[in-house]
Amino acid sequence: MKSKQGFTLTEVLLAVIIVAALGVALAALTTAASRESSVGNSRIVLRNNFSVALRQIKNDLTNYNTILYARGKQEIMGAMQLMCPIYNPSCTPGYIPAVQHPVLLLAKNTRFDGTALSASTPEYVAYCFIRGGITKLSNGQTNVQPTDADDGGKLYRRVLTSSELTWNGATPNVCEAGTEEVLLDNLKYIPSTSGVNYPVPLFRANGWNDDDGVYSVKNTATAATAARNGNVAGQLEIKLILELPTFPVVNEAVELLLGPGNGFSDSRGLTA
């Protein structure tokens, strides 16, 4: 009677290797699919957040139809690492406390110079930005790009009355913690000095000829006043980036050109 021949050790090892390779490949595919699904879900969340925030901004530009202030490319301080001078060994490196900075101020029932219309009560809505200070991705090693950029910023919205609006020169004092709503989270900050020529968040009055892009009705320079009085046909340019500092990074960007109901002074002038 013949005995049945079994598998040799070589055949068993080869089968084990093949099964192991298939398992590794399947695990890699599953991990990649899971990562792609997670990235896709994150993008959907960012887009939904953008949709809600931009709807609010557009509504505000319809209801509060005069721009009193737009920050433009002016740098936003805070959340920056402090370097100690070499002659002061007692200095401890740290960070400049992040504070809110105004980026946009809209008004209704006012003239283009911000003064109240007759028999009307001015109302205002302000947008303020605070830097997040996140400079590393979730793996703890990769820096947020580009240089000097950071993640985790917030955009706040605040409705004000005439008694709550004050000015520090040409800059409105409208950012008061605890009296506003968070409109957007996870905003990326890129300074205009980063070398990529894409500063965000950007709220800029297009055509305004100030070097740093700041538009303010409190700018009393002769040229600024002439520009304001000469033309009120303008556009508000908005650039924003939402970014999750994950690894790999997930982000969404938006660029808009919006026309307020009553516009703002545009130094380019009207054409026939």
Query: For the residues 226-241, what does the mean pLDDT come to?
Result: 71
pTM, whole model, 2 decimals? Answer: 0.78
Q: How confident is the model at residue 173 (pLDDT cuts 50, 70, 90)?
A: very high
User: Quick check: 188 and 241 in contact, CB under 8 A?
Assistant: yes
Pick the more confident residue, 195 or 229: 195
Query: For the residues 110-135, what does the mean pLDDT come to?
Result: 87
User: CA 20, CA 144: separation in Å to the nearest integer?
Assistant: 37
Q: Residue 95, Cβ neighbours under 10 Å: how many?
A: 12
Query: For the residues 94-106, what does the mean pLDDT come to?
Result: 80
Report the candidate in 153, 221, 181, 174 with the shortest Cα–Cα distance to residue 70.
174
Euclidean distance between the first and the last CA atom of the chain, given in angstroms as a whole number: 108
* pLDDT on residue 269: 40
Report the candidate in 251, 243, 55 with the shortest Cα–Cα distance to residue 131.
243
Q: Residue 155, Cβ neighbours under 10 Å: how many?
A: 24
**Domain locations along the chain:** 12-258
Q: Which of 40-49, 163-172, 216-225, 232-241 has the highest mean pLDDT?
A: 163-172
49: left (phi over 0), alpha (psi -120 to 50) or beta: alpha
- How many Cα atoms sit within 13 Å of 70 on the Cβ side? 28
User: CA 50, CA 256: separation in Å to the nearest integer?
Assistant: 12
pLDDT in tens, 11-22: 778 888 888 888
Alpha-carbon separation of residue 201 from 154, 188, 259 (angstroms): 10, 7, 18
User: CA 172, CA 126: separation in Å to the nearest integer?
Assistant: 9
Q: Is the pLDDT of residue 271 over 50?
A: no
Q: Which two tokens stand for residue 25?
A: 């490949």
Average pLDDT, whole number, for the chain? 80
Strand 150-161 versus strand 123-130 pairing type: antiparallel
* Identity at 66, one-letter amino acid code: T
The single residue listed with the structure tokens 């990562």 is 35
Q: Which two tokens stand for residue 266?
A: 């545009």
DSSP assignment letter at 193: T
Q: How confident is the model at residue 227 (pLDDT cuts 50, 70, 90)?
A: low
DSSP assignment letter at 175: -
Q: How confident is the model at residue 266 (pLDDT cuts 50, 70, 90)?
A: very low
Q: Is the pLDDT of residue 72 over 50?
A: yes
User: Quick check: 91 and 116 in contact, CB under 8 A?
Assistant: no
Pick the more confident residue, 48 or 176: 48
